[in-house]
């Protein structure tokens, strides 16, 4: 077992949880559901924290890994400024690419 396996698995587990919540979710529904917003932010925070711990040499260039780290920092330190429309869009645009990249790391190592 590689030392980073735990981080990879935690990222994938949280992506799956977010995907389940968002599979048929409209933006307007997300914007009205504060419990889902809180859960999603926590999951994104966990994703960002664990992404930072995956060695750089394993990260492909197709994904902007820093985006996830920056989002984690924003959620952790500037939670009062969160724009949930941007969070919804961030998930729709970026999460699938991260999932593919992390699965590739898991499969190749």
pLDDT (tens digit per residue) in 34-83: 999 999 999 999 999 999 999 999 998 889 999 999 999 999 999 889 99
Global pTM? Answer: 0.93
Q: What span, in angstroms and rounded, lies between the C-alpha atoms of 91 and 11?
A: 14
How much is the mean pLDDT over the chain?
Answer: 94
H or E element, residue 48: helix 34-53
**CB 85 within 8 Å of CB 27:** yes
- Nearest CA-CA partner of 75 in 54, 47, 96, 97: 47
For the chain, what are the domain ranges?
5-108
CA–chain centroid gap for 54, Å, is 14
- What's the pLDDT score for residue 66? 95
- What's the pLDDT score for residue 2? 77
């Amino acid at each position: 077992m590689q030392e980073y396996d735990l981080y990879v698995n935690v990222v994938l587990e949280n992506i799956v949880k977010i995907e389940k919540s968002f599979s048929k979710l409209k933006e307007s529904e997300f914007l009205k559901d504060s419990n889902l917003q809180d859960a999603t932010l926590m999951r994104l925070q966990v994703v960002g924290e664990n992404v930072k711990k995956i060695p750089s040499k394993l990260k492909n260039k197709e994904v902007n890994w820093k985006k996830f780290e920056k989002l984690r920092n924003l959620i952790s330190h500037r939670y009062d400024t969160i724009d949930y429309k941007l969070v919804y869009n961030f998930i729709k645009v970026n999460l699938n690419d991260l999932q593919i990249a992390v699965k590739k790391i898991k499969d190749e190592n």
